[in-house]
Amino acid sequence: MRALVIDDSKVMRRIVAGILEGLGYEVQQAGHGREGLDVLAGGWVPELVCVDWNMPVMDGLQFVSAVRSNPTWRHVTIMMVTSESEHGQIVRALAAGAHEYVIKPFTADAIRDKLALLGLLPQDVVR
């Protein structure tokens, strides 16, 4: 399975990508929403996108809206991974089309649990 990690923090990208790679994902990274859209538009369409909220150029909410407005990418599962923890913000993200929401700080187990809920744990990890 493939995953795209979008975060303006290189450190956070490495951490999330490391967790996903440990679960068997092939991972690409992008520094903001616009870069993320460029990856998708280039034809590398993953099963999962983990996206931060607050980023320069294009934030996570704009990215989610852009992905959801393109029928070609409707099947992509989007998980927001962000320090935005206000209830209203979570509702906005889910309403825009995000499937799951992970609040920073998080643990590797929290990511794994969310992926299990989404049915996105690779089979050899589930067993």
Partner 1 sequence: MNEFHDTGERRRSSDTPLLITDLIDEETVRSIAQEAWSALIGDDEFLVPLPGGPPDDAVSSWVDVVGPWTGTVVLTCSRATAEELARCLLAEHAPPVLDAEDVHDALGELANVVGGNVKAVLPGPSALGLPELGSIPAAGPPADTCRVDLLWRGRSLTITVQGSAGAVHITPENNPQKNEVPL
The contact set with partner 1 (CB under 8 A) reads 8-12, 14-15, 17-18, 54-56, 82-86, 88-89, 103-107
- Nearest in space to 51 (alpha carbons), one of 91, 88, 104: 104
Q: Which is nearer to partner 1, 8 or 100 (CB)?
A: 8
Closest to partner 1 by CB, 17 or 121: 17
Closer by beta carbon to partner 1, 28 or else 82: 82
Residue 72 per-residue DSSP state: G
Q: How does strand 48-51 pair with strand 2-6?
A: parallel
Q: At what angle do helices 60-68 and 87-96 cross, to 10 degrees?
A: 30
Give φ, ψ of 71 to 5 degrees. Answer: -55, -30
Work out how close the CB of 105 gets to partner 1 at its nearest, in angstroms, rounded to a whole number. 3
Helix (H) or strand (E) holding 92: helix 87-96
How many CB atoms sit inside 10 A of residue 86's CB?
8
Query: Do residues 52 and 28 touch, judged by C-beta distance below 8 A?
Result: no
Nearer to partner 1, 17 or 78 (CB): 17
Least distance in Å: CB of 55 to partner 1? Answer: 8
Taking the complex as a whole, the smallest distance from the CB of residue 80 to partner 1 amounts, in Å, to 12
Quote the least distance from Cβ 125 to partner 1, whole Å: 18
